[in-house]
Amino acid sequence: MTPGARRVLRAAERLFYERGIHAVGVDLIAAEAGVTKKTLYDRFGSKEQIVVEYLAGRDERWRELLAARLDAVAGREPAVRAVAVFEASREWAAEYGSKGCSMINAHAEIGDPSHPAYPVITGQKRWMLDLFTGLAREIGAGGAGGVGGAAGADRLGRTLMLLHEGTLVAHGLGVFPDPFGHAADEVRDLLGRV
């Protein structure tokens, strides 16, 4: 990627996240990046492709951060790893997410499944569901009891994901202080019962 293209993505990420995808046009992105619209279109082809790259880049960085946090608690019980997801989310939000989850925010603007960014948005959320469901299966396999086989693990995975998504929304809205800490406590309580 050329230096100009990297500047476009940095500018687009900041602008899309702060102002919203629909509120930001290519003229503003090009001006903020210090490139011409021709350069922007030569590198990306369309605003939609910039949106795809913006969301894919955030998703990739999130997965890398989360993998590092989960590696740090590798070998620990699945409940500890589930809590680590919420702690990683708190860390991510402190650095990149004062307005909540970029995927949730993007979905509020891009609900059309034919939009090229839609699979990035839904793919990230499906990946999170798979992660939580995998942890729930490990909890059941670890003999903690109460998970109730594959159906129970699927249900617990969905519950953990819903708690995580609600935490992201509560953080973005500033509804109450430290939703990540509150959610981590709830996960500890929930998994203490399983």
Q: Which residues contact 182 (CB under 8 A, 6 or more apart)?
A: 167, 176
Residue 144: pLDDT band (50, 70, 90) is: very low
**Are 89 and 143 spatial neighbours (Cβ–Cβ below 8 Å)?**
no
Tokens of residue 107, six digits: 């979905």
Please compute the mean of the pLDDT values over residues 117-141 and round it to a whole number: 94
Percent of the chain's residues with pLDDT above 70: 95
Other CB atoms within 10 Å distance of the CB of residue 18: 11
User: Which among 190, 174, 182 is positioned nearest to 136, based on CA atoms?
Assistant: 190
d(CA 186, CA 83) in angstroms, rounded, equals 9
Res 193: pLDDT: 62
- The answer to whether 11 touches 32, Cβ cutoff 8 Å, is yes
The owner of tokens 């998994």 is: 191
The pLDDT confidence band at residue 140, using thresholds 50, 70 and 90, is: confident
What is the C-alpha separation between 8 and 46, in angstroms, rounded?
12
Q: What pLDDT is attached to residue 156?
A: 94
Say how many Å lie between the first and final Cα of the chain, rounded.
Answer: 48
Report the pLDDT averaged over residues 48-77: 96
Residue 194 has pLDDT above 70, yes or no: no
Rounded to two decimals, the pTM is 0.90
- Please count the other Cβ atoms lying within 10 Å of the Cβ belonging to residue 150: 12
Q: What is the pLDDT of residue 145?
A: 46
pLDDT (tens digit per residue) in 121-132:
999 999 999 999
Query: Considering only CA atoms, which of 21, 1, 39 is closest in space to residue 120?
Result: 21
Is pLDDT of 133 > 60?
A: yes
